[in-house]
Amino acid sequence: MIKSMTAFAREEFRSEIGEFIWEVRSVNHRYLEVFVRLPEELRALEPVVREKVGKALSRGKVECGLRYKNAGLAPSSINVNEALVSELVEASRKVGHLLHSEARLSISEVMRWPGVLDAEPVDSGEIQKQAVELLDKTLSGLVEAREREGQQLGKLIEQRIDDMGEQVEVAKQRMPEVVAALRQRLQAKMAEFDDLDDARVEQEMVILAQRLDVDEEMDRLKTHLTEVARTLTQNKPIGRRLDFLMQELNREANTLGSKSADTVTTQASVEMKVLIEQMREQIQNIE
């Protein structure tokens, strides 16, 4: 299954604990690079997020962001630090004695004193659990989006493979005509001289034909195109292999152009390089 590296997924979930919103986006990148943005109360989840992204994806620059809004639930219980309250009361009594004042700390003042009340927060484990479950759903959506776009990229590449094959046939069928035309022109030129050795002329014709022979290049082009088509059917990351095959195709197309002695084969070489570049642009987004 071909997968693109460019995709976006967003999932929301609301519960009695609060509201969760995950947004995950990815773009093409040579390796897998993950950036994580989490609210402070869920910062401990970052290693889990990175691990899950690493299992779901193999390449791409990936940004994962979570927004969490607390539902405003009351603490599960409130504990009173009785020892601290006793110390505050005693301290207030001593200060009042030194100042010759009967004023004492009020109950509200004691309750506002830092450390007097210790509220147990809502279960953080349940918050993390719901956040991770929603992340799994978001990553699944991202993978599906990458697969859908990958299918479209695969169709574009397959079309260009067919177009490349047509250009290879054009060049292959044209070459005998090119060699024959060169032979005729050379023989006509040589006919102007009376003292030329026929064996020598024939030897030069053979050398020229060998220089113009592109059968090996055509065969390698066909082999590489077959390998590209086969690679597209593999159920694993294929971007790097396809990129390498594009380099090989471009090398053979350049060789064809350098050997060309005919406008038709030259045009075929140019068209091949255009198609290769178009495929290369699409392959840059394939995982």
Are 115 and 225 in a shared domain? no
Residues 26 and 83 grouped into a single domain: no
Q: How many residues does the chain have?
A: 287
Residue 1 maps to a domain: no
User: In this predicted structure, what is the pLDDT of residue 264?
Assistant: 82
Q: Look at residue 140 and tell me whether its pLDDT is greater than 80.
A: yes
Asked if residue 203 belongs to a domain, the reply is: yes
Q: Are residues 157 and 199 in the same domain?
A: yes
- Same domain? For 142 and 161 the reply is no
The reply to whether 106 and 133 lie within a common domain is no
Who's near 212: CB < 8 A, 6+ residues apart?
175, 178, 179, 182, 259, 261
Top-confidence range, 66-80, 162-176, 198-212, 223-237: 223-237
* Angstrom distance (rounded) from CA 212 to CA 254: 14
Same domain for 273 and 188, yes or no, is yes
User: Distance of CA 196 to CAs 90, 190, 200, 203, 206, Å?
Assistant: 128, 8, 8, 12, 16
- Is position 2 within any domain? no
Q: Is the pLDDT of residue 91 over 70?
A: yes
204: in domain: yes
User: What phi, psi does 119 have (nearest 5°)?
Assistant: -90, 130
Q: Are residues 165 and 239 in the same domain?
A: yes
Instruction: Count how many domains the chain has.
Output: 3
- Residues 171, 249: Cα–Cα separation, whole Å: 15
For residue 135, pLDDT beyond 90: yes
**Host domain of residue 262:** 148-283
Identify which of 209, 223, 210 has the alpha carbon closest to the alpha carbon of residue 168.
223
Domain-embedded: residue 56: yes
Domain identity same for 38 and 167: no
Q: Which helix (H) or strand (E) holds 218?
A: helix 215-231
Selected residue with higher pLDDT from 161 and 181: 161
N-term to C-term CA, the chain? 10
Same domain flag for 206 and 264: yes
Beta bridge partners of 77: 120
Same structural domain, 152 and 268: yes
The pair of structure tokens assigned to 75 is 């603490």
106 and 131 assigned to the same domain: no
Angstrom distance (rounded) from CA 40 to CA 124? 12
Residue 74: per-residue pLDDT:
47
Q: Higher confidence at residue 193 or residue 229?
A: 229
Q: Same domain for 46 and 103? A: no
